[in-house]
Structure 1
Amino acid sequence: MTPEELTDWQTSALRTVLGHVYDKSPFYGRRLAGVNLDIKELTGLADIPFTTKDDLREAMHDMLSGTVADAAFYFETTGTTGRPTPCPRAPIDFDLNVLPLAHALDAIVRKHFTGTEERPVLAVVAPNDVHAACLSLSFAAKQLGIAKLDLFPITPTLGFARFFEVLVELKVNMILCSPGLLMALAEMSSTYGVEVPEDLSVKVLLTTGEMCSDGMRDLLAQTWHAESYNFMYGSQEAGCPAVTRADGTVMAVEPTYLLEVLDLETEASLGLQGYGELCLTTLVPGLKPLIRYRTGDLVEIAPDASGRRAVQVLGRVKDMTRIGGAKRSAAEIDNAILADPELIYGYEIDVFSDDGEDRLEVRAKAKEGADHDEIKKLVSGRLTAAFGVPAEVKIHPLLDLKSATGGWVSWKTARIKDRRVPEVADDIEARSAADLARAVERAI
């Protein structure tokens, strides 16, 4: 499909889905009343009202273009950042989300297993209660003839001891998991008599569920002695609008989504590429299409050599932290600290202000045998060079579990404490991150 053909398809599909939600969704019937839906060019998308997370929580089932009885499967959001919202998927929704996952998985399997006698065994380390990832990967793996198992250790039916036993017994060689939990698993494995990577057969890591910066990707690869991919970007409510290629580039899933970028200051549309907040429009007339849905995620989208759009997810917009007079993304901070993957397991960072001048304090967990003085020198030097503020690095033997599991809720909640502002008395994200950490402690 040429770029021109893709644009024509997207424009036609946009008109179709706008008519679909206007006719069938009570929420969009109200929201789009009086709006010109006969869009002739994609630039007309900017005239359509936004949909927000608050809209999803307030509208609930009125957001649907049908009823739950029309769904093939029912999922919902986790509720870690607010009220859980329904995310049922009709057959067309589910199938068109599985298809790009299957293509991406197939390319990676061919890259790593072609010409070998070893066959892929994929463990999906993610919650599977009304959650789409496990089921979607089941269908994708089945299409490709890949053995797949759900293996979430933070449940009373499994636990960490049996989790590691299964990895060893089945010679699992592919794992899909969040980056933070993968690092936590590597740290705790010796407690259960398993050394990562020596005692395992893992050769491919597929990350999802939270931002995976370049620094974190390299840290995972070095720690597990496996190739690490930022496998898929998405959410319960929006599905999967971006997946990896075998070369590690994350690509927009077109023609089933429009990935629009919004200016961070003006909220104006920058079109389908640029640096800013990701705004998604579903082009599938299914059970819960979303129109100009503000994800809250910070991205940079640019065409590759073929003209297809590559997507870099840089964290959440609200996770940006002002340091030294400039807003810094989660990815910038991650990459500055994790540039030496052979030295560090993870970190936490505090931001202070002394007489109006910012300074940073980092607590880093060193890998076994790493030179502590070298870590302090390298990390503090990079932070000061990158952000123009003094930085002190301390080596800590044990970090808060939230730094590993809290990323499911918020990267910033998990790793950064901004000491320049008062803590929020009742912060749902902080409570959710603490609840997850306690669940892990109980499972351990």
Structure 2
Amino acid sequence: MLKRQPLAFCTVALGDAAKYYATTGTTGEPTPTPRLKQDIIWNAVSVAAHWRSVLRPGARVANLMPSDIVPVGDLIANVCEYLDVSHVRLYPFTTGITDWERVCNTFDTYRPTVLFIAPGVLVQLTRYLKQRDLLHTFAQSVRSIMLLGEVNTQPFRERLARGWQCEVFDASYGSTETGTLAAVGEDQQMRLATATHYFELLLPDGRLVTPAEGLTGRLVVTPLNLYARPLLRLDTGDSVTITAPWQPGQLSPSLLINGRDSDSIMIAGVSLEIRAVEEVVYGTCDATGYVIEIDRQNDSAALILERDVHWDNAQESQLQAQLLERSQQLMGLRWSRVLFVNNLSAINKSGGSQKSWKKTNLRFVGGKQ
């Protein structure tokens, strides 16, 4: 109903809202989302309470997240302003204003200590700097990288941490419709924002339950501080796993974001999911991107990997064998083939604002999606 008639749920006219946003539309038509000052302030203060341990006094923040029509870039700026932390905005896909060269020039002058960036955009930035032998130079000032906008995995973060020689966090999770639902805090864990939201899990058997350790289901949320468009029991469509017990009056539960249920797809009787695929890819090799080519006629899938800038082609036979074995062990799937290419399409790594995993990391041949 919210997707079909989004403005019917609003309590204010669009001209009375402080900001107007809309969802990216990666899973359907964009959803108009006005916000009042109360919405914006409550969300920023809530997130600041989590991020305060990373955004310490004296930090220099480079905000490489978009601000046009989606709220994430504004949120980061609002939190920095609330915490009185220096920051600069430079989204590298702002045509005519910012590109990779402008990013590098800004880094050279500003020397940021914290980066806010989508995982796919960070991969492109890392490749760009490696190709120009600049990664070590620009990584020297960076102490923390905050990833948001897409699902990312522990092996992926660990590899980036080695390359940048810094801490890499899964910074936050949320949506344009709801605001921020979880964020990383002092203990470096992603935790539900229970001070500002009421959470439930929709289990596969249809039960709606309180989140508890070990449960996996779709996250259902009731935001407590949305004023322009109040929501009651919104099904986010996102699969999450609760990884720590609920402790009333203490820390809120930690969780893993598994991705949208709609992104899951069956191949040869195996459910392909973002987290499982990336555990295999980034936990096995130094590829900087991947595409899964799905053959519907043969009910099979091939894995296509992008070589890193510094790459030994002689290792590929061994890597193929390792990837086949690891995929069989972790997913129960055997790829029809594993290929390596020098470059994948830029949209494959352009960030959560421009992509959905199913649309850009999966390629369908031989039949319907």
Structure 1 length normalisation: TM-score? Answer: 0.74
Rounded to whole Å, the distance in 2 between the matches of 1:58 and 1:309 is: 32
- Whether 1:263 aligns to 2:203 is yes
The C-alpha deviation readout for 1:39-79, integer Å capped at 9, x for no partner, is xxxxxxxxxxxxxxxx2332232211222344333222233
Alignment deviations for residues 272-318 of structure 1 (CA, whole Å, 9 cap, x no partner)? 34211112211225111221212111111244484521121011101
Shift of 1:406: 6.2
Partner residue in 1 for 2:341? 396
CA shift at 1:170, angstroms?
0.8
Matched, 1:335 2:279: yes
Q: Structure 1 residues 352, 248: CA separation in 2 closer, same or farther (over 3 Å shift)?
A: farther
Q: Larger helix proportion, structure 1 or 2?
A: 1
Q: CA deviation at 1:405?
A: 1.9
Aligned pairs for 1:240-319 (under 5 A) are: 240-264=180-204, 266-273=205-212, 274-284=215-225, 286-304=227-245, 306=247, 308-319=252-263
Contact 1:324 1:388 in 2 (8 A): no
Q: What is aligned with 2:54?
A: 108
Q: 1:346 deviation in Å?
A: 1.8
Larger-Rg structure:
1
CA RMSD across the alignment: 2.4
2:5 corresponds in structure 1 to 59
CA–CA distance in structure 2, aligned partners of residues 412 and 79 of structure 1: 13
Q: Secondary structure at the match of 1:199?
A: helix
Q: Note the 1:29-428 alignment, pairs <5 A.
A: 55-110=1-56, 119-155=58-94, 156-190=96-130, 193=132, 195-200=134-139, 201-264=141-204, 266-273=205-212, 274-284=215-225, 286-304=227-245, 306=247, 308-340=252-284, 343-352=286-295, 359-367=300-308, 368-370=310-312, 371-391=315-335, 392-405=337-350, 407-408=352-353, 409-419=355-365, 421-423=367-369
Deviation of 1:138 (Å): 1.8
Instruction: Give SS of 1:210's match.
Output: coil
Aligned-residue offset at 1:320: 1.1
Do the aligned residues in 1 keep the contact of 2:119 with 2:351 (CA within 8 Å)? no
Distance 1:320 1:420 in 2: 19
Indicate the percent of aligned positions where both proteins have the same amino acid.
Answer: 23
| Residue segments in structure 2 that go unaligned for 5+ positions in a row | none
Q: Is the 8 A contact 1:299 1:313 kept in 2?
A: yes
Mapped partners of 1:411, 1:289: distance in 2: 29
**Aligned pairs, number:** 357
Cα 1:173–1:194 shift into 2, 3 Å = farther
Give the direction of change, closer, same or farther, for the CA distance of 1:198–1:382 in structure 2 (3 Å limit).
Answer: farther
List runs of 5+ in structure 1 lacking aligned partners: 1-54, 114-118, 424-444
How far off its partner does 1:188 sit? 2.2
State the Cα distance separating 1:254 from its structure 2 match. Answer: 1.0
Alpha-carbon separation, structure 1, partners of 2:6 and 2:93: 29
| Aligned-partner Cα distance in 2 for 1:196–1:288 | 44
- CA gap of 1:320–1:420, structure 2 versus 1, over 3 A, is farther
CA distance, structure 2, for counterparts of residue 369 and residue 60 of structure 1:
49
- Structure 2 vs 1, CA of residues 306 and 57 (structure 1 numbering), >3 Å: closer, same or farther? closer
Instruction: Assess if the C-alpha contact under 8 Å between 1:406 and 1:414 holds in 2.
Output: no
Mapped contact 1:281–1:293 kept (Cα < 8 A): yes
Secondary structure (helix, strand or coil) at the match of 1:287 reads: coil
Preserved contact between residue 111 and residue 138 of structure 2 (Cα < 8 Å): no
Q: In the TM superposition, what whole-angstrom CA distance separates every residue of 1:200-239 from its partner, at most 9, and x where no partner exists?
A: 3222111111111223222322333221111110111110
1:171-211 superposed Cα distances (whole Å, 9 cap, x missing partner):
112111110111011112355x4522443322211111111
Question: Normalization by structure 2: what TM-score?
Answer: 0.88
Is residue 402–residue 415 contact of structure 1 (8 Å, CA) maintained in 2? Answer: no
What is the distance in 1 between the residues matched to 2:240 and 2:144?
25
Distance 1:406 1:351, change over 3 A: farther
Render the CA deviation track for 1:66-125: whole Å, top value 9, x for unaligned: 223443332222334333322222222111110122122211235xx8xxxxx3111111
